[in-house]
Amino acid sequence: MYLWQRTEWPKFLWRADYLSELLAGVRHRQGRLLGQMEALGFPSRQEAVLRTLTDDVLKSSEIEGERLDLEQVRSSIARRLGVDIGALKPADRHVEGVVEMMLDATGRYDQPLTRERLFDWHAALFPTGRSGITRIRVGAWRDDATGPMEVVSGPMGKEHVHFEAPPAERLDEEMARFLEWFEAGPAMDPVLKAGLAHLWFVTVHPFDDGNGRIARAVADLMLARSEGSGQRFYSMSAEIRQERAAYYQILEETQRGPLDVTPWLEWFLRTLDRAIAGAHGTLGNVLQQAHFWDSIAQVPLNERQRLVLKKMLGGFEGKLTTSKYAKLAKCSHDTALRDIAALVESGALVRGPEGGRSTSYHLAGISDQPGGALRSAACGSSGYRD
């Protein structure tokens, strides 16, 4: 029996006394992080938001086995936030749609979550009306035309069913009840509400595809409300990505368990706590960046040099070589050599131990290179259909 099949559904229960200390600790660390970020200068705070949102978009997609282009995501977010990162890489429609959904969820956290808004998010996720090569219903609840909605894994013919969602004829009623609770339900801590909203949404699984990503966006919206800010300084999706197996396990166990969802909320709070702790890595990297720019404030830089340095501080992957500099700056090899030589002489770049054409360069005083906090591990398909 699944949660939605129980007589008292959706009257969730949890042990408030058991969770109270954990919740208080999470809220305390959440407040401290926000205070630390607010103390940063505006450019540094914007860079922290850019890094966090980029990580959030990348990792939420990776949870479902999909890897997006880092530079496209970063460029799309930077353009929408008005952050100058130099030349922007054009983003395809799919990337733009994912970014649009995430920015709407967090940036407009004070706006009500409605059926139409969820439909808009879904349409943004699937701009071609297809999931892979399969045509799906976009901007509408699923209709189960091809059978019941199931979360499965394993090869074709040997699939393991982890979960079956409520039938399509119940979706209008189920989602109306969810949205009413989300906006006007009983008073409760919004961090706990974020965890319950995530679980409730994936239990109903209202769309043909994209339910996991939208559930995480719904939770992010409520977390933004808990902070009274649309600026994101930690990524819940990035932490879930690191613990993807545990994420699916706790979801499956909860779906097959009683309406006492204390274990799920405990997992959610501990994962959120780790996400907040992980944000200090982003903070440290942003402070390193600010220190780097301060250290070369008196160094005359041309537009090519400034562009490449910004790339190295942001979503740059691999080592900088003369040929890569020439490609990034759209200049000749000789011009690249002169620019790099000037940066090395000024102390902005440090020459690597290699010689000849393979000589590489890295930024002086920046320990986490290349790509900063945004390095993204390659991943394969999770085997789950969200």
pTM of the model: 0.78
Please list the residues that pair with 320 across neighbouring strands. Answer: 361
Residue 327 has pLDDT above 70, yes or no: yes
Residue 29 has pLDDT above 50, yes or no: yes
Binding residues for ATP, by number, are 209-216, 247-248
Q: How remote is the C-alpha of 362 from its chain's centroid?
A: 27
- The answer to whether 263 touches 137, Cβ cutoff 8 Å, is no
What's the pLDDT at 163? 85
pLDDT tens figures, 72-83: 998 999 999 988
Binding residues, by number, are 209-216, 247-248
% residues pLDDT > 90 (the chain): 65
How far is Cα 66 from Cα 62, in angstroms, rounded to an integer?
5
Least confident of 33-42, 95-104, 204-213: 33-42
Residue 376 has pLDDT above 50, yes or no: no
What's the pLDDT at 90? 86
Q: Residue ranges per domain, the chain?
A: 3-286, 300-363
What's the pLDDT at 89? 80
Average pLDDT over residues 356-378: 59
Q: Which one is predicted more confidently, 182 or 92?
A: 182
What's the mean per-residue pLDDT of the chain? 88
CATH number of 3-286: 1.10.3290.10
Residue 315 has pLDDT above 60, yes or no: no
Domains 3-286 and 300-363 share a fold: no
How far is Cα 217 from Cα 112, in angstroms, rounded to an integer?
14
Residue 322 has pLDDT above 90, yes or no: yes
What DSSP state is assigned to residue 367? -
pLDDT band at 106 (very low <50, low <70, confident <90, very high): very high
What's the pLDDT at 87? 65
How far is Cα 332 from Cα 325, in angstroms, rounded to an integer?
9
Residue 377 has pLDDT above 50, yes or no: no
The CATH class of the 300-363 domain is: mainly alpha
How far is Cα 198 from Cα 222, in angstroms, rounded to an integer?
10
Catalytic residues: 205
